[in-house]
Amino acid sequence: VSTVPYLDGHHYRYSGWKALIPSNETLSWYFERLDHITNISYTANFYHFKDNDYVLMLHHFPQSPNHFQILTPARNGSLQPLSWARNVNGDWYFDQDNLTLYYLVSGRGVPQQPNIISNLDPTMININVQFRVFRCFYQNCAPPPRATVTSGAPDYNVWSNSSFWELRSENNYSIPAEGDSVVIPKGKV
């Protein structure tokens, strides 16, 4: 087990975690003291991969997520456990029994991009992962229907409306003048 500390952007070029990881291995990646979290998002860059290089990454979850995305655009998961021989970069598999997600980062089949930043072997490529996994708040990821709002007219009285006063026996069927005392019936606020 290796612990990789978070590096802030004040001392380094970028904030985040940086690690040198071995190629052609399966690595369990977890965030210390956050093992109760299901919703995880991060961007990861894997540098200097050749055609035969790969890393199989895995995450354990406390509950089953609803959405998985490794690369952009998102794609469907594999029905079988992953292997370098039959899968390609960005493929993923969720083991429902163990609540474990596996995804493959592989240099095989990834379009060549010129490595402008370094003078290393031009056959090496960099791979960007846009990891996003979450469990929906609502069942089937569908929010409940909005509550229906009745559009009936509100029950109120406009005191400046002369017909209100002319229909009230409490006020002698007359419109009050300035300084008059009036009776407002109970419930007619």
109 and 172 housed in the same domain:
no
- Tokens encoding 51: 């055609």
126 and 54 housed in the same domain:
yes
39 and 112 housed in the same domain:
yes
pLDDT score at 68 = 93
pLDDT score at 91 = 95
pLDDT score at 171 = 78
pLDDT score at 72 = 87
pLDDT score at 11 = 64
56 and 98 housed in the same domain:
yes
What torsion do the CA atoms of 87, 88, 90, 93 make, to the nearest 10 degrees? 0
184 and 99 housed in the same domain:
no
95 and 129 housed in the same domain:
yes
pLDDT tens digits for 33-80?
788 888 989 888 888 888 899 999 999 999 999 999 999 888 899 999
Q: Let me know if residue 148 belongs to a domain.
A: no
> What residue numbers bound the domain in which 124 lies?
6-141
pLDDT score at 115 = 54
- Tokens encoding 170: 């409490």
Q: Let me know if residue 63 belongs to a domain.
A: yes
Q: Tell me how far apart the alpha carbons of residues 58 and 26 are, in angstroms, rounded to a whole number.
A: 7
pLDDT score at 87 = 93
Q: Tell me how far apart the alpha carbons of residues 59 and 81 are, in angstroms, rounded to a whole number.
A: 14
Q: Tell me how far apart the alpha carbons of residues 84 and 106 are, in angstroms, rounded to a whole number.
A: 8
pLDDT score at 53 = 93
**Residues 126, 120 contacting (CB under 8 angstroms):** no
pLDDT less than 70: residues of the chain: 1, 9-13, 112-120, 151-157, 187-189
Predicted structure pTM score: 0.69
Coil, helix or strand at residue 27: strand
Q: Let me know if residue 184 belongs to a domain.
A: yes
pLDDT score at 129 = 92
